[in-house]
Amino acid sequence: MRNNGDFLFTSESVSEGHPDKVADRISDTVLDAYLEADPESRVACETLCTTNRVILAGEVRGPASVTTELLIDRAREAIRDIGYDQEGFSWKTADITSYLHAQSAHIAVGVDSAGEKDEGAGDQGIMFGFATRETKNLMPAPLYYAQTILEKVRDYRKSGDPRGAGLLPDAKSQVTLRYVDGKPVGVTSVVISTQHEADLTQARIREQLRGIVTDVLPAGWTVPEDEFYVNPTGIFVIGGPDGDAGLTGRKIIVDTYGGAAPHGGGAFSGKDPTKVDRSAAYAARYLAKNVVASGLADRCTIQLSYAIGVSRPLSVYVDLDGTGKDIDEGKLGRMLNEIMDLSPRGIRKHLRLNRPIYVPTSSYGHFGRVPDPAKDNFTWENTDLVDVLRGAFNR
């Protein structure tokens, strides 16, 4: 996204009941089960969800106490927590099958540390992190509002609030904002599609969602009535994995920055933190957020690159998009590489990633979330490098 000029920009989000997000949730449930039993477990779990059926596949290495029966029970509980107890997809009756197998020895030899050899990256690839001053959590505004709308819908649905009455787990949102001189100044359209009970009228759904959108958007940001689209195709009763198959990793733009910044080559869910697809993307967001929070720039994109079996990043690239406050981007990149150990092990230790903290990341984005000190989660959202960065540039 440009940092100046006048334009419209759109981002979408999906709820935890979207079939792809059901798959992400189950994959991260499997990951957390292994990390709970052994923080050094290796997991790469993929999930397929369809009509009353769930299939787990991928490779794992962990203690024998994590049995197939345990994983199936945990997957069933995840489906229950999302809210699916429907004829076509129910936590009670879904057929859940696991085809997880042992991790490839050829991968393990490149990733594991031994003797003087440091732990290598779990795969090659490029990872991006991004931060912008558009919102209080330093995330792009279109994605922030699209996600917040769906989080409100979820909260009302699960709490029994009248504003969520009759709404079911599967939902999508899309928000288009108008930018003037590169800054969001208003909303031009909102799209929401939500699964619902058969006896709920579209007029009633529209009324419920209109109130939620009004509460979420800033004061004065009114969506034109003819640009407020609710269930544009009409009735939406059959949803979730019964309406469309779900797969792990198909909502990577929802998971990151809503298209406002680049995304690397890999998905996150179901992968343990030795996989730099996940951990290095968290590290890149952490560094970018601290750069912006420190006042060194209004926008920051960071790219990291890795080779499988190699511990250090091959490159660290910083782009401040013309918003840097007299900052040399090359110097900043070198400094970030010194401030934080960007090897897979260094990232995991710094951000404390070898813990069962991943189920909450599986919906409503991995970034822009508020860390819970009691749970020590979303550590990549902390801004504890601000003083170091300010001091390094005499700010």
Report how far residue 395's alpha carbon sits from residue 387's, in angstroms, rounded to the nearest whole number. Answer: 9
In the chain, the amino acid numbered 289 is: K
> Are 121 and 344 spatial neighbours (Cβ–Cβ below 8 Å)?
yes
Which amino acid, one-letter code, is at 274? Answer: T
Q: Is 36 helix (H, G, I), strand (E, B) or coil?
A: helix
Contact residues for 354 (Cβ-Cβ < 8 A; gap 6+): 35, 39, 40, 273, 348
Token match 């792009």: residue? 140
Alpha-carbon distance values, 88 to 40, 193, 241, 359, 366 (Å): 37, 19, 8, 24, 29
CB 77 within 8 A of CB 70: no
Diameter over CA atoms, the chain: 67
Supply the residues annotated as catalytic.
18, 20-21, 46, 59, 172, 236, 244-245, 250-251, 271, 275, 277
If phi > 0 it is left, if psi is from -120 to 50 it is alpha, else beta; for residue 95 that is: beta
Give the tokens for residue 383. 């801004």
